[in-house]
A and B are shown apart, each in its own frame.
Chain A
Amino acid sequence: MKMWLTSTNHKQIGLMYISTTFFFFILAGILSLLIRLQLAQPDQNILTPHEYNQIFTLHGTAMIFLVIAPFAFGLGNFLVPLQIGAHDMAFPRLNLLGVFLFIFSGIIIFLGVFAEGGGAFAGWTAYAPLSTMIVGTGAGQDLWLLGILVNSVATIMVAINFVVTILLYRAPGMTMWRMPIFTWEILATALLILMAFPSLACVVCELLLERHYGAQFFNPAHGGDPILYQHLFWFFGHPEVYVMILPYFGVVTEVLAVFSRKPVFGYVGLVLSAFAIAGLSMGVWAHHMFTTGAVANGFFSGMSFLIAVPTGVKFWNWIGTMWKGKLEFTTPMLFAVGFLFNFLIGGITGVMVASPPIDYHAEDSYFLVAHFHYTLGGGALFAVFAAIYYWGPKMFGFKLNETMGKANFWLMFIGFNITFIPQFFAGIEGMPRRVFTYAPTGDLGWLNAVSSIGAGIMAISAVGFVLNVIVSKLAQEPVGDDPWGAGQTLEWATSSPPPEFNFHALPPIRSERPVFDMRHPELAEERH
């Protein structure tokens, strides 16, 4: 126990992130099931409006701030030092401080539920002036804001740590252009965090000042401006979307390359596209505000379209990585290909809503809900599972059961699409998001019923995953350094799980896949 509280080892901290996100994932998943239960039929009263509003606020907050983004930090914490041949992160104690602040932020946010008047219910976007009204949003909203503040500070800490580690702690011979793609994507993510999260920390502080100390930043009655809140929030909020997806692009790239038995196709293109996405995503924030009528729609629409180009490059190179390979459909590979399928729908609908004339109808409707669930649920979450199945043996020393893993994938894939495809049509029919009930007009009734059935299938899949972890833990088959037999990057050159300081000896690093070079010296070639 003492070890878990004081050890600054990066692998332990990574596992702390991952286990905490798993806990919050279960909580947020249960919340989403409650949402689908309430919406399964029109005019239901399973939850009161007040309960429903708290539930969707917590579901969004938890999935974004406590599951998808921090899982990537945990994965990065575990993997980045291994992939670049370092012994630990650059600032181990800052790292430990960051993980504890992250855990506390989650606890603070969820404790808000027990406050008088209930937890926060202003949505994860907490738009002012709704979130600054003391009436109706009492201590729960304050705790939510405090939690987000602590979370943003923790995130900035972890980003600084990643940047310094990747730049200064690379093993001899590991030039930047020989780093694995996952490490590159973490670097781009860290860059984005450093640009975007200070804005979140500021805007949360402003809300707290307004709620407690009489500031009037966003109150039009005293010269404030609610649009300013939206600018500040989305200046963080849109890059945050890419903070939640860039690391998972890295995961998918690695998994596809390893199980196609090929090097990553278009390495330079993948790296440059990651930075292009990071840069462009800083200039698109107000596409969340097209319908306000108070922003430069043309500018933001054009910038948003441009992001499709580097994302297209990624798809192109992923297909190139699979091309002429020998694809082995293990569970991580299935999840990675599932990611490609789902994320493509998220991407093309993303281009649609980036066009203001379409967004005038789609904004804040279930079309938009389905769109971002395809990027973050069908995209990031599938990559989370791919990562757990792929690096699980390295982290825990045992492989997860493949048969159960495949069942896990197929149920998740089918359930996910059954849940969210109907929501596109519900949105087009005119169902706004964040409603606790809806009138039984048109096709909304059966669309929502189908969607709820899909959510049930996903729940079964998630339970199957938990069972898989338990069963595999009990079976506990020991694994060697490279359980997949095809590892390419440095983490597969050490034991599973790795020793305290990661490596007893490093292989020479002459390309972006030193472990492959070690296995096939006849094919090794020096690069970059």
Chain B
Amino acid sequence: MKSFVGFFGSTAVFAVSICIIYWFSSHDRGGALLLGFMCVALSFAAGYAFFTEKNAALEGDDRDLKHREAAGEDITIVTKESPWPLTLAISIVWFLVGLLWSDFMLFTGLAAMLLCLWRLGAESARVGGETIMTKEGPENFT
């Protein structure tokens, strides 16, 4: 996590320095603004990581931890399958095509997108259907 802060932070410093050099060598507002945005985005990522680092004790960052020492803890939660990403992808495309050529497709697409997002949210809230990893491997949580 420290490396992450370092990489994103130093890239942000780099971005702000070339932004300044660029502004004084070209006086081009477009490019300087883009570099400025880049710096803001990188600083945001680095700052977020910096402030959450204390709370997040990552096993991956523990140099001496062996795999079996992590036993008994939930390693990760994984969804095995979900029909909603495909449905959402179709409705996004439907919506975008509607944006250009058809009001009918626009509104049905919008409705379908909202439906999919709702179902995705509901799926996340439901524990059943998800799988929790334990030391013995995947275990269904029903």
Report B-chain residues with C-beta under 8 Å of the C-beta of A169: 60, 76
Query: What residues on A are CB-neighbors of B137 within 8 Å?
Result: 501, 504
Q: Is A275 an interface residue (CB 8 A)?
A: yes
A146 CB-CB contact with B under 8 Å? yes
Do B26 and A96 have beta carbons less than 8 Å apart? no
Which residues of B are found within 8 Å of A194, using beta-carbon distances? 41, 45
List the one stretch of A171-179, A245-253, A379-387, A460-468 in contact with chain B. Answer: A171-179
User: Is B66 touching A8 in the complex (CB atoms < 8 A)?
Assistant: no
Most buried by B among A191, A283, A286: A283
Across-interface contacts of B28 in A (CB, < 8 A): 231, 295-296
CB of B63 within 8 A of CB of A175, answer: yes
| Beta-carbon contact of A299 and B67 below 8 Å | no
CA distance A235 to B35 in the complex (A): 9
Residue in contact with B67 in the complex, picked from A173, A175, A296, A500, CB distance below 8 Å? A173
Write 26 A-B pairs (CB below 8 A) sorted by A numbering: A8-B78, A8-B85, A85-B67, A86-B76, A87-B133, A87-B138, A88-B76, A88-B78, A92-B79, A96-B86, A97-B85, A100-B85, A101-B92, A168-B60, A172-B66, A172-B67, A172-B69, A172-B70, A173-B65, A173-B67, A177-B3, A194-B41, A232-B34, A296-B28, A303-B18, A505-B67
Q: Which of B60, B78, B84, B89 contacts A171, CB < 8 Å?
A: B60
| Contact between chains at B81 and A8 (CB < 8 Å) | yes
Instruction: Assess whether B142 is interfacial by the CB under 8 Å rule.
Output: no
| Chain B residues closer than 8 Å to A295, beta-carbon distance | 26, 28
Q: Which one of B61, B82, B85, B97 contacts A175 once the chains associate, using CB atoms below 8 Å?
A: B61
Residues of A within 8 A of B14 (CB): 279
A286 and B58 in contact, given A88-B78, A96-B82, A500-B138 (Cβ under 8 angstroms) = no
Interface string of B4-19 (1 = CB under 8 A from A): 1001101100110010
**In the docked arrangement, what's the CA distance between A22 and B134, Å?**
36
- 8 A Cβ contacts from A498-512 to B: 500-501, 504-509
Give the docked Cα–Cα distance between A228 and B30 (Å): 7
B7 to chain A, nearest CB (A): 6
Interface residues of B (CB under 8 A from A): 1, 3-4, 7-8, 10-11, 14-15, 18, 21-22, 25-26, 28, 30-31, 34-35, 38, 41-42, 45, 49, 56, 58-67, 69-70, 75-76, 78-86, 88-90, 92-93, 96-97, 100, 120, 123, 133, 137-138
B residues in contact with A104, CB < 8 Å? 89-90, 93
Determine if A195 and B67 form an interchain contact, defined as CB atoms under 8 angstroms apart: no
Q: Which residues of B contact A191 (CB under 8 A)?
A: 7-8, 11
Contact with B along A400-418 (1 / 0, CB 8 A): 0000000000000000000
Pick from B65, B85, B93: contact of A93, CB below 8 A: B85
Q: B64 contacts which chain A residues (CB < 8 A)?
A: 173
Bound-state CA distance A282–B15 (Å) is 8
Q: What residues of chain B lie closer than 8 Å to A142, measured between beta carbons? A: 100
Give every chain B residue within 8 A of A174 (Cβ-Cβ): 60
Given A170-B58, A501-B138, decide whether A7 and B31 contact each other with a Cβ distance below 8 A.
Answer: no
Shortest CB-to-CB span from B32 to chain A, Å, is 10
Instruction: Say yes or no: B22 contacts A283, CB within 8 Å.
Output: yes
Interface residues on A, range: 35 or more
Asked if A58 lies at the interface with its beta carbon under 8 angstroms from chain B, I say no
- Which residues does chain B contribute within 8 Å of A515, judged by CB atoms? none
Known pairs A168-B60, A195-B38, A231-B30. 20 more at Cβ < 8 A?
A8-B78, A8-B81, A9-B80, A88-B76, A93-B123, A101-B89, A104-B89, A142-B100, A167-B1, A170-B59, A172-B66, A173-B64, A173-B65, A175-B62, A176-B60, A195-B42, A282-B38, A299-B26, A509-B67, A528-B63
Q: Chain A's nearest CB lies how many Å from the CB of B88?
A: 6
Asked if B138 and A150 sit within 8 Å, CB to CB, the answer is: no
Instruction: Please report the C-alpha to C-alpha distance between residue A308 and residue B70 in the assembled complex, in whole angstroms.
Output: 44
Q: A208 to B3, Cβ gap below 8 A?
A: no
| A:47-86 near B, CB below 8 Å | 84-86
Minimum CB–CB distance from A247 to chain B (whole Å) comes to 17
The answer to whether the Cβ of A108 comes within 8 Å of any Cβ in the partner chain is yes
Contact flag A506-B31 (CB < 8 Å), given A93-B82, A298-B25? no
Q: Are B93 and A108 in contact (CB under 8 A)?
A: yes
> How far does the Cβ of B86 sit from chain A's closest Cβ, in whole Å?
5
- Min CB distance, A187 to chain B, in Å? 8
Nearest residue (CB) in A for B131 is: A501
Q: Is the CB of B85 within 8 A of A146?
A: no
| Contact of A5 with B by CB under 8 A | yes
Chain B residue at minimum C-beta to C-beta distance from A85: B67
Once A104-B89, A228-B30, A231-B31 are accepted as A-B contacts, the answer to whether A299 and B76 lie under 8 Å apart by CB is no
The answer, among A9, A97, A299, for a CB contact under 8 Å with B89, is A97
**Is A391 positioned at the interface, with any CB of B under 8 Å from its CB?**
no
**Chain A residues near B31 (CB, 8 Å)?**
231, 235, 285-286
Beta-carbon nearest neighbor of A294 in chain B: B28
CA distance in complex: A500, B81 (Å): 12
Chain B residues whose CB sits within 8 angstroms of the CB of A108 once the complex forms: 93
Docked-complex contact A170 and B60, CB < 8 angstroms: yes
A488: interface (CB < 8 Å): no
Contact of B11 among A5, A150, A278 (CB under 8 A): A278
Distance, CA A501 to CA B78, complexed state (A): 9
Verify A232–B86 contact, CB threshold 8 A: no
Give complex CA distance A174, B60 in Å.
Answer: 5
Do B67 and A508 touch across chains, with their CB atoms under 8 A apart?
yes
